[in-house]
Structure 1
Amino acid sequence: MRKYISLKNKIEKTALVKVEPFKQQIRKTNPHKHNNYFEIIYLSEGTGFHTIDQSVFSIITPTVFFIRKEQVHFWDITSKPKGFVVLLKKEFLQASLDYKLRDLLSQLSHITCLKINEPQNIDALFQLLVSEKDFTVTEGLLKALLAKIIARSTPFSTSVNKSDTITLFQDFLKQTDNLHNSVAYYAQRLQISPQKLNAICRKTHQQSASEILGEHIIDEAKRQLLYSDNSVSEIAYNLNFSDSSYFIKYFKRYMGITPKAFREI
C-alpha cells in the first residue's frame, strides 16, 4: 500500500526560529514534508542515508543538509548521529533587517547538501544558537554560522544575484499547492509581460521561464506519484491541468514515460 506524505511541524506557532540538537534516537523515518519552514541539518557524526525527493545521499560527516518546505525527505541512519537542527520560518527573514543574512540564506536555499571541510567553531556556533533567545543576537550568530558553512564547505558555484522579480517568481513556484502550468499566469502576478519574465529567467538561470516552471511542476507531480494515493486524474487536477490527457503528455515529454509507468517503477 502506498504511504501518504505526513506533514511534520516541529516549531511552535509563535516561534520564528528554533535550534536544537539532532535527536540521537532518530534512525529511520517515513517520507514527510515540513510545515512552512526551511530546515538546516548539520551532522558531525553518523552514517547511513538521507533521501530528499528522488536523490539519495550517503551521510559522510561533517555535512549539512538544506530542506525546503515543499521537499519530501526521510532518514535511514545506521549509527548514532550527532549534530544540530535549525528550523527557520519565512517570517524570521521578514522581521530581519540584516540584508547580508538574507543574501547568505538565498545562496544556500537552492542547495541540498554540502560537505564541510573544516568544522572548527561550527559546533560552537550551533550550541550558542540553541540557548539564545534575543532576536538580534540570533541574527548575528546565524549570519556567522552560514558564512562559515559557505567558507568551509566543498566549493559550489553560486548563481548570479537574483533580481526581486526572479526571487518572487521562485517564491510563487514554491507554493506547490497552487501551481499553474502557465508562464502568463505568473507574469500577470508579477505585473510584467511573459516576454520580460522569460528574458529575466534566461539572463539569471540560462533557462526559459517555461523550463523553470516545468521543473517545478514535474518535481511536484513526481512527489504526488511517489508519496500519495492520488490518481493521475487527481494529480492533474491538483496541478491545474485542464484534463488528465494533457498532463500525461506533459509528463511524458519531460520524463520519457507516463505518470502511471513512473509510479510503477
Structure 2
Amino acid sequence: MPLEIPLAPVGVRAAELNARYRHHSATAVLRHALSDPQVGRIALVSSFGAESVVLLHMLSVVDRSAPVIFLDTEMLFAETLEYQKDLSEQLGLSDVRVIRPDRRQLLERDPDALLHRTDPDGCCALRKTEPLQDALAPFDAWITGRKRFQGGARAALEFFEAEDDTRIKVNPLAHWDKSDVQDYMVNNRLPRHPLVSQGYPSIGCAPCTSRVGAGEDERAGRWRGAQKEECGIHFVNGKMVRG
C-alpha cells in the first residue's frame, strides 16, 4: 500500500493553488480542486439555498459521487428540506450527508428552541458551526458557493483560502457576478428554490430570514435588525475569514 505524502502547510498550499489556477474558469477550478493532490480530501458544503443549485449542478457534471454536506439545523424552512431531497435526486448526487446538531447539546443549551432570539451567534454555533466542524474533521478542504458580489467580508475572495492551519476553503464561483449565476441557471434549466419567487433571495433558518424589499441588498433579510452578517461557519478562532 503506497504511503501518503504529507501535505504542506495550509497557507502555502492555498497560495500555490491560487497562483496555479488564478485564471481558470469556475468549472476548471472545481475539477482541479477535486483531483489536485495539494487539495487533499474534499467535500462540498451546501445550504441548498437560493443559488446553491449552480455549484451542485457543476459538481454533478464533474463528479456526482463527491461528498456533499448539508446542514439541517432543524430550523430550516420546509421548502428547503423538500428542495434538498428533490434536487439531490434530480442531479444524481450519490453521497449527500445530512448533518444535524447534537441532540444532547440542543437539550442542554436550547431546550425551547428560542436561543436565536437572545443569542443568535450562540444559536448558529450550536446548530451550524459545531456540527459542521465535526462533519469536516475527515477532510483537508471544503467547497463553498461564496462570491465576491455578495459584498462584506466576501468582496476580496480568492479561489483558494487558508482556513487557519486546518484546511483549505475552495470558492469556485468567487469571481462570478449576479448575471453569471442567473445565466447558468437559465441555460441549464435548473430548478429554483421555491422561496426565491416569494421574495427570499438569500435563505437561511426560518426564524432569522425575512423577505427582502425592492432596492435592498439581497442579504438584508438575514438576521434583520441584528449586528450580524454571517452565521459563523466562515469564522476562524472567532474572527470572520476574509479573502
Q: TM-score range by the shorter chain?
A: under 0.3
Structure with more helix by fraction: 1
TM-score if structure 1 supplies the norm length?
0.25
Structure with more strand by fraction: 1
TM-score if structure 2 supplies the norm length?
0.26
- Structure with bigger RCO (C-alpha 8 Å, 6+ apart): 2
Q: Which has the larger radius of gyration?
A: 1
